[in-house]
Amino acid sequence: MKKIVLVLLATVFLSHPAAQAADKIRVVATMNTLGEFTQKIMGDEAEIHVVAKLGRDIHFIQPTPKDVLKVKKAEVLVHSGLDLEAWRQPLLNAAGNTDFLGSSEKAVDASQGIELLEVPAILSRSEGDLHIFGNPHYWTDPANAEQMVRNIASGLSRIYPESAARYQANAETLIHQIHTAAADWDRRLAPYKGTAIVTYHKSWPYFAKRFGFDIIGYLEPKPGIPPTAKHLQEIERLIKEKNARMLIKETYNEKRPAEKVTRESGIPLVTLLQFSGDEKTNGYIGMMDENVKRIEEALGGGLRS
Ligand SMILES: [Zn+2]
């Protein structure tokens, strides 16, 4: 009788959602795209908390007490490396999770092996530059997204070698999906190769290199430094001189300077998505697909006329 009660109790306990959550591997990802890739590689065994909320500028996230608690209890940390998340180290310090401090075996750096653009000769934040190790917005090139998936899968395989084969198989599936979608984006953006464009922040150099856009200027004089009136005039002059055909901003960039420039120059203002996780766009592939669609809409009419 006692045995039956124990078995019943165990069954009730194991089927309880809280018990199931407790069995999962607790992962903290610094941003949505990393969380999404990690979830697709690990599947149901992971419970993933993402720090940077959607629609916010990743450079200026302020982690909450909940984020600190999640990092404190996390078993794995997946981050983007470099200095994109300047708040990352303070968050780790606040959480005091020794697994992630110092040279951490349990932290996965998604930037490994990615060929960085704009690596400066001298590391300096003296002028407010947010990109001192090179440009950290590397996932806007789908080839780099594939490398991120590889990095996450090999990092997780190092931490949980018993699951390595499954992680690698899931990663291969995801890489194949990104690769197939990217071939379609290449085809759709091919007609606009060589088009001169302007962007608000230096978020799109990898995207531009991949798809053949020529970025002739930025609304921010330096990454993270708001545009000045004088700088905007210079950009308007450049747009005319180089025949730039669109201005790209992100959802969280200030509208007014971008609208002023596009109004004066008569070019379209295109808002692109940099972080997956929007329900409507359904993950990294959906997000990039939406970006390609927005560019086609902005430039398509002009080319046909
Ligand atoms: Zn940046």
Domains 2-183 and 193-272 share a fold: yes
> What is the structure's pLDDT at 101?
84
The answer to whether the CB of 258 falls within 8 A of the CB of 219 is yes
Distance between Cα 130 and ligand 1 center (Å): 6
The answer to whether the CB of 39 falls within 8 A of the CB of 234 is no
- Least confident range of 36-50, 99-113, 170-184, 285-299: 99-113
pLDDT digits (tens, 9 = 90+) for 118-142: 988 777 666 566 788 899 999 999 9
Q: Is 194 left (phi over 0), alpha (psi -120 to 50) or beta?
A: left
State yes or no: pLDDT of 155 exceeds 60: yes
State yes or no: pLDDT of 95 exceeds 50: yes
Which class for 147: exposed (0-12), middle (13-18), buried (19 or more C-beta within 10 A)? buried
Distance between Cα 160 and ligand 1 center (Å): 32
What are the sequence ranges of the domains in the chain?
2-183, 193-272
For 88, residues 6+ apart whose C-beta sits below 8 A from its C-beta are: 30, 79
Distance between Cα 203 and ligand 1 center (Å): 6
Distance between Cα 61 and ligand 1 center (Å): 12
State yes or no: pLDDT of 172 exceeds 80: yes
State yes or no: pLDDT of 12 exceeds 50: no
pLDDT band at 302 (very low <50, low <70, confident <90, very high): very low
Query: Regarding the domain delimited by 193-272, which CATH topology (the fold level of the hierarchy) does it fall under?
Result: Rossmann fold (3.40.50)
- DSSP for 148-195? HHHHHHHHHHHH-GGGHHHHHHHHHHHHHHHHHHHHHHHHHHGGGTT-
Q: Return d(Cα 107, Cα 142) in angstroms, integer.
A: 23
> What is the structure's pLDDT at 127?
59
> What is the structure's pLDDT at 20?
60
Residue with more model confidence, 82 or 124: 82
pLDDT digits (tens, 9 = 90+) for 256-288: 999 999 999 999 999 999 988 777 788 999 999
CA 184 to chain centre: 21
Name which CATH class applies to 2-183. Answer: alpha beta
Q: Return d(Cα 260, Cα 265) in angstroms, integer.
A: 8
For 56-112, the three-class secondary structure string (H helix, E strand, C coil) is CCHHHCCCCHHHHHHHHHCCEEEECCCCCCCCHHHHHHHHCCHHHCCCCCCEEECCC
Distance between Cα 201 and ligand 1 center (Å): 6
> What is the structure's pLDDT at 305?
36
What percentage of the chain reaches a pLDDT higher than 90? Answer: 74
State yes or no: pLDDT of 192 exceeds 60: yes
When pLDDT is averaged across residues 216-230 and rounded to a whole number, the result is 93
